[in-house]
Chain A
Amino acid sequence: MRKPIILASLALAAIAGGAAAAEKPYRDMIPYIDYSNPAASGDAKHTNTYQYWKDRDKLDPARVTSGQLNWTTNWKFMDAPYNDTLHGGYVAQDRGEELFKRLNATGAFAACLGARNNDLKGLRLQYPQFREDMNRVVGMEAMIEQCAEKQGMKLENGSYDNSAVSIYIGAFSNGMPIKIDVSKGPLKESFEHGKELFHTRVGWTNFACATCHVNLVGKSLRGQTPTTHFGDASHWPTYRTKDELQSLHVRFTECNRNAGTQPLKIGSQEYTDIEVFLTALTNGYPVSLPSARD
């Protein structure tokens, strides 16, 4: 009697697998570029602008102030040490400290985020990470929301206060290079999905993220010039000089809307997978917080 049961469950699994594959709709794609060794330096094979923004303290002022060439510095001039003015990111950091101290009165909040002995140094580098208990990959801001809830505080992912706490914690890793391992396990799966999403064409425009950040990179779209997507994930959440504080997922909703695409919920698996993809493309590049963007 045992054998048929196993066989039957195998058959069911096969059907389920087949159905899942068949369900995937046809989508136009922007062809992949070389992502074989994901790191910020990989941009050398994309826009080849890495040489200009690799060392923030060696940025060329002529390039930064040039209307034509500014995009080649990948906005890194908005970060310390090139720009250390007391912008709104610092105000948010102070707010984050205050909230963190309230949340972490017993040390449970930091422990929930994965810190040992309340040591926040390097914690930022552990995200995004796979959580066994949740059986999914999460970003730092998603965990801040979860762990704050356990302390009875609502810090919705993407909200100002959530981002403020993220900046406060992240700044302990300032200068430390991003280094997530996407070569195996759930992070590899997440990276592959994020890569696919980044190149998938959607919305009324039929644009992918890659339409702008690969095909139209360096081109002017009436005053806006898309830059490389390498080295983009070590300065979030960021202070937007027009918009207040913005998390990476909130930025995705902005890019989606600019491209005529319906945005997704903050913290969605899809945005998290794109976050993993972009974080891997920032490997080797140092954390810089608080940061600012135009």
Chain B
Amino acid sequence: MNKKTIGLAALALVAGTAVQAADLPSNILYDANSEKKTLWPQPVVNSGVLKYNEHRQDLSRWPTLSYEDKRPTRKAETVELKGDLNGDAKRGKEIAMNTQRGNCWACHVLPGDPQGGTGGPTLVGFKHRGYPDSYVYQTIWDRRAINPGAIMPPYGTNGVLPEQDIRDLVAFLQSLD
């Protein structure tokens, strides 16, 4: 195991002058001194070195595939929807139909989107399904609490969307005719 680590170190490629935060795995593409921190490698024609660009988002906050990464998957959270829903359907739509935010349309068909994904059930006509707000809220927060093997991202548990965003999404879905 020790030997293996040494071999790895010899092969390891340092991305330019990338700086690592102390508690993160050493073999991720990351530069603590850059704005977004997460880097991606770009081959450049007729060049023997890679160009490292910043990804649009710092992805190092969540578990990686590195063997050094000791962060566990966060377990499913069961949540209660407190008080009035108080959601803004218009804001919810902007979150759902935006690849850089909720990105719900990657897996779901939503009204007015001819390209909607087929990974999950269509959400067209959702309001007629008669689900209580609390159930929809839990589904977006963490579907695993309802179906342990669910593949839908746990937006609440993983700290991807704040509570108000999820309330807005519920209001949006409950408005879909």
Using a CB–CB distance below 8 Å, which chain A residues touch chain B? Answer: 23, 25-28, 30-31, 95, 134-136, 138, 142, 145-146, 148, 153-163, 197, 200-207, 211, 215-216, 219-223, 243-247, 250, 253-254, 256-257, 260-270
Are A204 and B50 in contact (CB-based, < 8 A)?
A: no
How far is B138's CA from A125's CA once the two chains are assembled, in angstroms? Answer: 50
Tell which of A162, A261, A268 has the most Cβ of chain B within 10 Å. Answer: A268
How far is B150's CA from A286's CA once the two chains are assembled, in angstroms? Answer: 36
- Report chain A residues within 8 Å CB of B118: 219-220
- Contacts A206-B153, A260-B57 aside, 13 further interface pairs with beta carbons under 8 A come to A135-B3, A136-B11, A153-B48, A157-B13, A202-B62, A203-B63, A204-B160, A206-B158, A221-B117, A257-B59, A269-B8, A269-B67, A270-B27
- Report chain A residues within 8 Å CB of B49: 154, 156, 159
Partner among A153, A205, A245, A264 whose Cβ is within 8 Å of the Cβ of B27: A264
The yes or no answer to B32 lying at the interface (CB within 8 A) is: no
How far is B30's CA from A95's CA once the two chains are assembled, in angstroms? Answer: 30
- Report chain A residues within 8 Å CB of B69: 25
How far is B45's CA from A161's CA once the two chains are assembled, in angstroms? Answer: 8
- Report chain B residues within 8 Å CB of A257: 38, 40, 55, 59
How far is B129's CA from A86's CA once the two chains are assembled, in angstroms? Answer: 54
Q: Which residue of A lies closest to B99 (CB)?
A: A222
Supply 18 A–B pairs (Cβ within 8 Å), ascending by A: A25-B70, A25-B73, A27-B73, A145-B11, A154-B49, A156-B50, A159-B50, A160-B47, A202-B62, A244-B43, A246-B43, A247-B43, A256-B65, A257-B40, A260-B57, A261-B65, A265-B13, A269-B4
How far is B28's CA from A261's CA once the two chains are assembled, in angstroms? Answer: 11
| Residues of chain B in range 6-65 having any CB-CB distance to chain A below 8 Å | 7-8, 10-13, 15, 25, 27-30, 38-41, 43-50, 55, 57, 59-65
How far is B55's CA from A253's CA once the two chains are assembled, in angstroms? Answer: 11
| Residues of chain B in range 91-116 having any CB-CB distance to chain A below 8 Å | 99, 105-107, 115-116
- Report chain B residues within 8 Å CB of A95: 46
Partner among B3, B50, B99 whose Cβ is within 8 Å of the Cβ of A158: B50
How far is B70's CA from A246's CA once the two chains are assembled, in angstroms? Answer: 30
Are A202 and B13 in contact (CB-based, < 8 A)?
A: no
Are A262 and B64 in contact (CB-based, < 8 A)?
A: yes
Are B65 and A270 in contact (CB-based, < 8 A)?
A: yes
Partner among B8, B10, B43, B107 whose Cβ is within 8 Å of the Cβ of A245: B43
Are B63 and A25 in contact (CB-based, < 8 A)?
A: yes
Q: Which residue of B lies closest to A161 (CB)?
A: B48
Partner among B7, B39, B41, B45 whose Cβ is within 8 Å of the Cβ of A136: B7
- Report chain A residues within 8 Å CB of B99: 222
Are A160 and B28 in contact (CB-based, < 8 A)?
A: no
A67 CB, nearest partner CB in chain B, Å: 11
Q: Which residue of B lies closest to A223 (CB)?
A: B115
How far is B138's CA from A267's CA once the two chains are assembled, in angstroms? Answer: 40
Known: A156-B48, A156-B50, A203-B59. A270 touches B13 (CB 8 A): no
The yes or no answer to B72 lying at the interface (CB within 8 A) is: yes
